[in-house]
Amino acid sequence: ATPTAIMVGMGKGAQEGILIKDAQSLELSKKITAVVLDKTGTITKGAPSVKKTYAAETSVQWQSILFSLEHQSEHPLAQAIVGFFNKVSLLPVTDFKSITGRGISGTINGEQYFVGNRDLMVEQQLTIGEEFEQKAEDWSKHAVTVVYLASATAVVAIVGIADQIKATSKSAVADLRSMGIEIHMLTGDNAWVAHSVADEVGIKHIKAGVLPEEKANYVKNLQKEGHTVAMVGDGINDSTALATADVSIAMGQGSDIAMDVAMVTLLTSDLSKVPEAIRLSRSTVATIR
């Protein structure tokens, strides 16, 4: 496209809340054949809240322990937990650690605790009691994300957290498909939650339980198959995949790191802006043909 056409295209984008960093990304967007979407914060609101709790009768302080550990974390799930248990007492935490794609750990009163998903419990060889397994499976089938709290040996409580799908996510997916684009969803969340969200918005290609670097590998594999790939994400955990994709799109209400890496930022964090951006590119590049 001519420099003028590109300038006009980028200006139109800006008016629609689609901020495009450079001319090249606008031109490339026209060629996109596959779009990879992160789930949490991209398809869903990423502002989940606590819906259910279940604890072992023997664990009296679990709420304070969970609250105090999550108080150290910036994950959306942590924010939901901190908001829910805001009346319990904050205990001092030492040795706080983030375990990428899995959860967190820390020491309280000389005892180590783990908070995170089922994979974390399995990896750390923590016992998951039968009653916890059953409740967790039941919640997960209803698209509730289960956060486990464990002592150094066993799970002592679980909390069920649910997120909401954004109003325009389903129509945006349908719109992209009508443009001949293949749609994929990636998430660090478990398969049950992933399937329930994917079914609701109409996505067939999904991968659950992925670590940040696996998100990037997934993008690479699509590229090897010959796809021109756009990655859409909101979090730090998406930044490697964003950097790998041919076109990278960040949600404006997401993390600063995602926006720094991305070529395109959607100010309103609205997924319907993705097909709009691709259409804009197609029409901009077509003007000069």
45 touching ligand ADP, by CB under 6 A = no
Find the catalytic residue in 38, 189, 238, 246. Answer: 38
For residue 224, count other CB atoms closer than 10 A to its CB: 8
Q: Which is nearer to ligand ADP, 29 or 117 (CB)?
A: 117
User: Using CB under 5 A, which of 101, 235, 252, 275 touches Mg ion?
Assistant: 235
Q: How would you classify the pairing of strands 229-233 and 247-251?
A: parallel
Q: Is 25 or 40 the residue whose CB approaches ligand ADP more closely?
A: 40
Does 48 contact Mg ion by CB under 5 A? no
Residue 109 makes CB contacts below 8 A (sequence gap 6+) with 91
Binding of ligand ADP at residue 115 (CB under 6 A)? yes
Between the CA of residue 219 and those of 115, 134, 225, what are the distances in Å? 29, 35, 10
Contact 163, 44 (CB under 8 A): yes
Residue 78 contact partner, candidates Mg ion, ligand ADP, none, CB within 5 to 8 A by sort of partner: ligand ADP
- In the bound state with ligand ADP, the residue whose beta carbon lies nearer, of 22 and 199, is 199
DSSP H or E stretch at residue 272: none
**38: annotated active-site residue:** yes
Q: Give the nearer residue to ligand ADP in terms of CB position, either 187 or 244.
A: 187
Q: Note whether 102 binds ligand ADP by CB under 6 A.
A: yes
Q: Scan for tokens 């590998």, then name that residue.
A: 217
117 binds, among ligand ADP, Mg ion, none (CB under 5 to 8 A by kind): ligand ADP
38 binds Mg ion (CB under 5 A): yes
Residues 6+ apart with CB under 8 A from 98: 73, 104
Specify the pairing of strand 111-116 against strand 229-233: unpaired
Handedness of CA 57, 75, 94, 89 (dihedral sign): negative
Candidate list 18, 19, 32, 39; residue touching ligand ADP; CB under 6 A: 39
Task: State yes or no: residue 104 binds ligand ADP (CB under 6 A).
Answer: yes
Strands (E), the chain: 18-20, 34-38, 49-55, 94-99, 103-108, 111-116, 145-150, 155-162, 182-186, 205-207, 229-233, 247-251, 264-266
Does position 255 bind ligand ADP by CB under 6 A?
no
Which residues make up the interface to ligand ADP (CB under 6 A)? 39-40, 70, 73, 75, 77-78, 101-104, 115-117, 147, 187-189, 212, 235, 237
Which residues make up the interface to Mg ion (CB under 5 A)? 38, 40-41, 234-235
Tell me the catalytic residues.
Answer: 38
